[in-house]
Amino acid sequence: MTESLVLKGQILTFSDDPFAVGPEAAVTHHSDGAVWIEDGLIRAVGAKPEVLSQAQGASIVDHGNCLITAGFVDCHAHYPQLPIIASYGTQLLEWLEKYTFPIESTFGNTTYSREVADFFLEECLRNGITTSCVYATVHPESVDAFFEASIARGLRMACGKVLMDRNAPEALTDTEQSGYDQTKALIEKWHGVGRNVYAISPRFALTSTPAQLEVAGALWREHPGTLMQTHLSENPKEINWVAELFPDAPDYFGVYETFGLSGPGAIFGHAIYLTKRERTAIRDSGSAIAHCPTSNTFIGSGLFDMEGLRDIDQPVSVGLATDVAGGTSLSMFATMRSAYEVAQLKGYSLHPAKAWYLATVGSARAMRLEDRIGNLAPGMEADIAVIDLTSTPLIERRMAGAESLWDALFAQIILADDRAVRSVYVAGNSVKST
């Protein structure tokens, strides 16, 4: 890939964290800007005349008044659950038993896994999501299928085989030994191949014995470049059960700490009900939280404390996530909108710059990929979403009264869907264009 390409349009980048320095200081906006891409990487970003003067001979795509931003990053999703999205009437533990485990049981079949993985990735791209941190199922075949589908599209994706050796149907359990052997083989097969990243994935404390959590910790120590993902404090019944199973742990997060499952590169899904000690311990360890708002409302889990975790002097690392298919949408607009609504119900208004940050840089940081994806800057990978700011009559009407960039971004967050994603570039290659 040697093509040299310039995209013209409005440009949105982050020079800092809007929670820390405020939206004005954190966001750079060029209303007449350009991005220069070469060999899949960004060479320059900024005002159009300056970028064009450097990019002699490049081909040019004019995106007019559209907003060019980093592709969205979803730091927690379950691709095998896509077929049961929008399943009625349960909360977490019943939902897992009634809908989730039965569908996950079907992913020992490579052809079926690949078909769903392809569908999932196409949905991601339609919605401008260019990187996700994904759970497969307990079956190694489900990981092979996902990474093959990712490589076929040149994507930067993270995925891992779910580890479960108790409190799940027999068809979905592995053992301490098979979980170790299969995970190790999958890391050797896929981590760092193409743009793929392996994520060691003990499902949660309820479905792994202490021995298996020990194994997960050992695997992570042996492969420190991989990610580690699991679930934490999503639902009160779940939390009570964890306390029964691990009576010696100080709290739920303490279970994971005991087994070496915390630190930079550890991503904890949900984290709604945290004690003060857990908040401090998560922050001090450098672990990250995946906030999954559409899931938290849909399966009735609870309201995430964005203000208490992010809008403070020493914040916790947080990324935004769809959690498909506890979550109800692969649209990052729907996910940002839900994050806004959940925060509102807690008496806190999530600024559009902060929501956009969480959906790009925040999730990339959670995945330790902030130097590669989630923002537009020289040297970073050219995964890009181009957003039509007037994609529906209603948005167009609302935009007529928009007085600032923040109004414009907020209108997208509240009103936009996949129709707003006009073009998507993966490593500089156009994969969606409408």
Give the footprint of ligand GUN on this chain (CB under 6 A): 78, 92, 96, 100, 203-204, 231, 234, 295, 323, 326
Q: Is 124 exposed, middle or buried (0-12, 13-18, 19+ CB in 10 A)?
A: buried
Find all residues with CB under 8 Å of 22, minimum gap 6, and list them.
none
* Angstrom distance (rounded) from CA 351 to CA 176: 45
**Position with the least CB separation from ligand GUN:** 326
What, of ligand GUN, Zn ion, none, does residue 63 touch, CB below 5 to 8 Å by kind? none
The encoded tokens of residue 387 equal 């957003």
* Angstrom distance (rounded) from CA 98 to CA 103: 9
CB of 259: closest distance to Zn ion in angstroms? 19
Q: β-strands 421-426, 429-433: how paired?
A: antiparallel
CB of 82: closest distance to ligand GUN in angstroms? 12
**Which CB atom, from 78 or from 195, has the smaller least distance to ligand GUN?**
78
CB of 230: closest distance to Zn ion in angstroms? 9
What, of Zn ion, ligand GUN, none, does residue 136 touch, CB below 5 to 8 Å by kind? none
CB of 430: closest distance to Zn ion in angstroms? 31
**Which CB atom, from 271 or from 384, has the smaller least distance to ligand GUN?**
271
What, of ligand GUN, Zn ion, none, does residue 251 touch, CB below 5 to 8 Å by kind? none
**Which CB atom, from 326 or from 362, has the smaller least distance to ligand GUN?**
326
CB of 325: closest distance to ligand GUN in angstroms? 8
Q: Which CA distances in Å does 336 have to 179, 320, 330?
A: 35, 8, 11
* Angstrom distance (rounded) from CA 357 to CA 339: 12
Residues composing the chain: 434
CB of 323: closest distance to ligand GUN in angstroms? 5
Q: Which helix (H) or strand (E) holds 23?
A: helix 23-26
Which residues contact Zn ion by CB under 5 A?
269, 323
Evaluate whether 376 touches 11 at the Cβ level (below 8 Å). Answer: yes
∠ Cα 290 295 298 (to 5°): 160
Evaluate whether 179 touches 213 at the Cβ level (below 8 Å). Answer: no
What, of ligand GUN, Zn ion, none, does residue 100 touch, CB below 5 to 8 Å by kind? ligand GUN
Neighbour count for residue 309 (Cβ, 10 Å): 20
What, of ligand GUN, Zn ion, none, does residue 128 touch, CB below 5 to 8 Å by kind? none
**Which CB atom, from 33 or from 269, has the smaller least distance to Zn ion?**
269
What, of Zn ion, ligand GUN, none, does residue 99 touch, CB below 5 to 8 Å by kind? none
**Which CB atom, from 334 or from 409, has the smaller least distance to ligand GUN?**
334
What, of Zn ion, ligand GUN, none, does residue 428 touch, CB below 5 to 8 Å by kind? none
CB of 162: closest distance to ligand GUN in angstroms? 8
**Which CB atom, from 230 or from 423, has the smaller least distance to ligand GUN?**
230
Q: Which helix (H) or strand (E) holds 339?
A: helix 332-345
What, of ligand GUN, Zn ion, none, does residue 174 touch, CB below 5 to 8 Å by kind? none
What, of Zn ion, ligand GUN, none, does residue 234 touch, CB below 5 to 8 Å by kind? ligand GUN
**Which CB atom, from 81 or from 412, has the smaller least distance to ligand GUN?**
81
H helical segments located in 346-392: 352-357, 363-366
* Angstrom distance (rounded) from CA 91 to CA 234: 10
Q: Which CA distances in Å does 85 have to 99, 331, 337, 403?
A: 9, 13, 19, 37
**Which CB atom, from 6 or from 138, has the smaller least distance to ligand GUN?**
138
CB of 245: closest distance to Zn ion in angstroms? 19
**Which CB atom, from 130 or from 295, has the smaller least distance to Zn ion?**
295
CB of 269: closest distance to Zn ion in angstroms? 5
* Angstrom distance (rounded) from CA 162 to CA 15: 36
* Angstrom distance (rounded) from CA 153 to CA 118: 10
- CA trace torsion 124, 126, 128, 130 (10° rounding): 40
